Structure 1
Amino acid sequence: MLLAIDAGNTNIVFALTEEQEIKARWRIATDPRRTADEYAVWLNQLLQLEGRTRDDVTAVIIGTVVPRALHNLQVLSSKYFGVEAEVAGQGTTEWGIALDVEEPGSVGADRALNTIAAHALYKGDLIVIDFGTATTFDLVDYTGAYKGGIIAPGLNLSLEALVSAAAKLPRIAIERPRTNSVVGRNTEDQMLIGVFWGYVSMMEGLVARMRAEIGRPAKVIATGGLATIFDAQTDIFDSVEPDLTIQGLAMLHARAHMSTTRDQG
């Protein structure tokens, strides 16, 4: 089985996949100081709960936007799973897609992986919205090329900045407001309305502008932990794919494996 590791700025997701199907997934807070040994103890327990062992893992692929986290994840792979980890975007797992932007080397691994998976799953022009530490809007054209996009502050980041900068504002949970009214009657409701409906309005406005600039119909694919919260509150999403980045990792690994097999043949 393949262990796909998506190391983001806030969380690292570990997923067991088989023939590109996700069998199990686990999430841990990103901490570049966490050692391979610490990862191994945590993962070993979770594997056992799923009725798995380390011997079930025959390959590892890592996609990361946190360079400092990469080394310990590579050590985890070699020391505890006995395989050299593939790193998305490097060597045999180069992207294999056109990064049609001014600085291709600056494109984050998560955005390239989302491009690969979205184009494989859906045809035509696509807008991929990823709700992470930042919220990104990525344009994938009908050929599968990454054409650029938008980076906006993530919802949690926006809320944290608001609370940190205003001494009297309380911390609140991110959820749908209790009513459809956009006139809050207390501080907590006013904050939630501003964050939640403000974010919906931002998404709808940016998607409308992107579609107008594309000049062709474009499906909107949402991914990331907060995608499901907004799905019922806006009609801009054509599909929600919570595991798009992990799917991209599995697809990239499969493509590299097929290429190696052909070369050996």
Structure 2
Amino acid sequence: MLMTIDVGNTNITVGIFDKQKLVGNFRLTTGMTRTSDEFGTAIGEILRYNDIEKQDISDAIIASVVPKIMHSLTSGIIKYFEVHPILVEPGVRTGVKIITENPRQIGADRIVNAAGALGLYGGPAIVIDYGTATTYDLVSAEGAYVSGVIAPGIRTSAEALWSKTAKLPEIEIRKPEHILAKETISSMQAGLVYGQIGQTEYIVKHMIAESGYEDIKVVATGGLGNLISKETDCINIYDPELTLQGLRLIYEKEMKNRGADR
């Protein structure tokens, strides 16, 4: 089985694949400081709870935007699962050609999402990830990463509201029944959710217009992506597993390339 690990700013998402089938996935908190032993035992215990033994894991691949935890995480995977994980970094075959001015500035998660969208749905595509930041990435039909837009994520914006204002409370992020809110909580919910919907529609519209691409697919992922994708026609596909599937596809390409080099 293949272990795929997406290290984001808020969560570490782990997926387990049996060939091309995702048979399990779970999350750990990124912000908690862990040793290699803590990573190894925590992941092993959760796998065992899902009836997956550590000896069932034959390989692993990791994409990360949080460098400071990588030594402990990779060491834990090596020590407890006896596999050396592939890291999504320059030199790994992703199937995505980055043609921006500074390719090294593009986060590994965005490259993985682009690879997932291209492999599963084809291009050209706009890939939207509703995470700690909301990212919009444009990929051509030929597999080139063309451009990207970064905005504050919904939860990040919400936390800014209640941490930077004296009287605004911490709230549940959900769509209120009406945009014409009559009290504080639904007013905040309306601003956050309808604001994100409006942002999405505006950015997607202008990315399509400036790119000149026709028949472009808009693929969304991320924890709160389902909330937004239900409310707008500009999103064609919502795939909560896109990043994990992208990691699987990159792993397959890299292993094929390594086999060809032998």
Q: Shorter-chain TM-score: which interval?
A: over 0.9
Task: Verify: 1:246 aligned to 2:244, yes or no.
Answer: yes
Does the 8 Å contact 2:154/2:196 carry over to 1? yes
Aligned match of 1:224: 222
Query: Match of 2:209, as an amino acid?
Result: A
Moved over 4 A (4+): none
Taking structure 2 as the reference length, what is the TM-score of the superposition?
0.96
Partner of 2:139: 140
1:186 to 179, 183, 186: 183
In structure 1, how many angstroms separate the alpha carbons of the residues matched to 2:232 and 2:87? 36
Shift of 1:96: 4.2
Residue 114 of structure 2 aligns with which residue?
115
CA shift digits 1:2-37 (9 cap, x unpaired) = 111100000001111122321101101103621121
Measured in 1, the distance between the counterparts of 2:220 and 2:261 equals 36
Unaligned runs of 5+ in 2: none
Q: Structure 2 counterpart of 1:34, which letter?
A: R
Residues 1:197 and 2:194 aligned together? yes
Task: Output one character per residue of 1:224-248: Cα deviation in whole Å (capped at 9) or x when no partner.
Answer: 1111112221111111111111111
The offset of 1:40, in angstroms, is 2.1
Q: Aligned partner of 2:224: which letter?
A: L
1:78 and 1:231 map into 2 onto residues whose CA distance is 38
When the two chains are superposed, the root-mean-square deviation of aligned CA atoms in Å is: 1.3
The count of residues paired between Structure 1 and Structure 2 equals 261
Structure 1 match to 2:20: 20
Shift of 1:148: 1.3
Q: Deviations over 1:165-222 (max 9, x none)?
A: 1100111100111x2x321110111111111111111111111111111223211000
Query: How big is each residue's C-alpha offset from its partner over 1:89-117, in whole Å with a ceiling of 9 and x where there is no partner?
Result: 245x3434210101101110000111111
Please say if residues 94 and 253 of structure 2, whose CA atoms lie closer than 8 Å, have aligned partners that are also in contact: no
Correspondence 1:1-265 to 2 at 5 A: 1-31=1-31, 33-91=33-91, 93-177=92-176, 179=177, 181-217=178-214, 218-264=216-262
Alignment check: 8 A CA contact 2:118 2:143 kept: yes
Kindly provide the CA deviation profile for residues 239-259 of structure 1, in whole angstroms up to 9, marking residues without a partner as x. 111111111111111111112
**Distance in 2 of aligned mates of 1:90 and 1:57:** 25
Q: Indicate conservation of the 8 Å contact 1:130/1:224, yes or no.
A: yes
Q: 1:251 and 1:77 mapped to 2: Cα distance?
A: 20
Further displaced range: 123-132 or 24-33: 24-33
- Listed one character per residue, the Cα deviations across residues 111-158 of structure 1 (whole Å, up to 9, x for unaligned) are 011111111112231100001110000000111110111000000000
Using the alignment, how far apart are the partners of 2:71 and 2:90 within structure 1?
A: 14
SS of the equivalent of 2:251 reads helix
Corresponding residue SS for 1:242: coil
Percent identical pairs in the alignment equals 38
In the alignment, the residues of structure 1 paired with residue 242 and residue 106 of structure 2 have an alpha-carbon distance, to the nearest angstrom, of: 17
8 Å contact 1:31–1:69 — kept in the other structure?
no
| Residue identity opposite 1:260 in structure 2 | R
Q: Aligned-pair distance for 1:44? A: 2.1
Unaligned runs of 5+ in 1: none
Q: TM-score, normalised by structure 1?
A: 0.95
Structure 1: distance between partners of 2:8 and 2:122: 27
CA separation in 2, counterparts of 1:87 and 1:242?
22
**Conservation of the 8 A alpha-carbon contact between 2:162 and 2:168:** yes
